[in-house]
Structure 1
Amino acid sequence: MFENPSHDEICALLKKSNRIAVVGLSPNVSRPSFGVAKAMQGFGYTIVPVRPKVSEVLGQKAYATLAEVPGSIDIVDVFRAAEHIDAIVEECIALKIPAIWIQDGIINEPAAERARDAGMVVVMDRCIYRDFVGICV
């Protein structure tokens, strides 16, 4: 059975991270992905939008895939349905990304376990913004 890291481990991850690639970041201001990413950007994180067919979101160049993102990524924050998590985890493993955050309401335990077995920090079914504000600030 999958268990998230402790609150202390989550805070340590968020405090040491700077660059968050947001998979499924919508340019629509009414979507949760936009609000969460904008808030995290306001807290000083560099947000990298990963969404095909969009040129930019929140003033940042968007990329169609994680593999296209130049430079390092500290956390991949995922706003995609559970059936898409497997492919995203495989891409994260291939790119040696250290952490994946699967947003509130999205659960794919086999994919989360594969990511963890590959050495990634995995947070699932939690909101990165709520955790940052609620347990780390």
Structure 2
Amino acid sequence: MPLLNGDEEISGVLRKYRNIAVVGISDKPDRDSYRVASYLREHGYSIIPVNPTLKEWNGIRAYPSLSSIPGDLKVEVVDIFRKPEAVTEVVREGLQLKPRVFWMQEGVVNREAADLAVQNGVDVVMDRCMMKEHRRLLGGK
């Protein structure tokens, strides 16, 4: 399970996996996490909001942490909008959900967290925006 960098690998993630837990999602429309999650939802992805300060996000129940997501909700991608130093703990907590991919958003680089994910059999995309990659590779608007 590698760090995914190639266009083919990244477009494969975007095509194959539809259930995305967005860690650090905001209810403020001017925030990147809000815009990216809204875009993904508009393009057919299922969003699982994760933020301890929100009860819901755009009518979808929010969870305070990854560990509070019920087992019947399948998390395929954990999309991380947190400071780099917080990501190792997010990955550690998220591993119990058995996601296929940890996706660290643009500007989020944490080698330790990436290594931890890979050692546990989970692919990693790091320092890339899911929305920008979707637009670039799959032609979304």
CA distance in structure 1 between the aligned counterparts of 2:80 and 2:86, rounded to whole angstroms: 10
2:119 is matched with which residue: 80, 98, 117?
117
CA distance in structure 1 between the aligned counterparts of 2:76 and 2:9, rounded to whole angstroms: 15
| 1:3 positional shift | 4.9
Asked if residue 66 in structure 1 is aligned to residue 69 in structure 2, the reply is no
1:44 match: secondary structure: coil
- In structure 2, what is the equivalent of residue 47 of structure 1? 47
- In structure 2, what is the equivalent of residue 91 of structure 1? 93
Deviations 1:71-122 (CA, angstroms, capped at 9, x unpaired): 1101000000011101011012232221110000011111111111211110
Identical aligned pairs, as a percentage?
A: 36
| 1:135 positional shift | 1.3
- In structure 2, what is the equivalent of residue 7 of structure 1? 7
- In structure 2, what is the equivalent of residue 31 of structure 1? 31
| 1:39 positional shift | 0.4
TM-score with structure 2 setting the length: 0.91
- Contact 2:66 2:93 survives alignment (8 Å): yes
CA distance in structure 2 between the aligned counterparts of 1:5 and 1:58, rounded to whole angstroms: 31
Equivalent position amino acid for 2:24 in 1: G
CA distance in structure 2 between the aligned counterparts of 1:98 and 1:85, rounded to whole angstroms: 16
CA distance in structure 2 between the aligned counterparts of 1:104 and 1:4, rounded to whole angstroms: 14
TM-score with structure 1 setting the length: 0.94
CA distance in structure 1 between the aligned counterparts of 2:5 and 2:123, rounded to whole angstroms: 8
What is the Cα-based RMSD across aligned positions, in Å? 1.3
Gaps of 5+ in 2: none
- In structure 1, what is the equivalent of residue 80 of structure 2? 78
CA distance in structure 2 between the aligned counterparts of 1:19 and 1:94, rounded to whole angstroms: 16
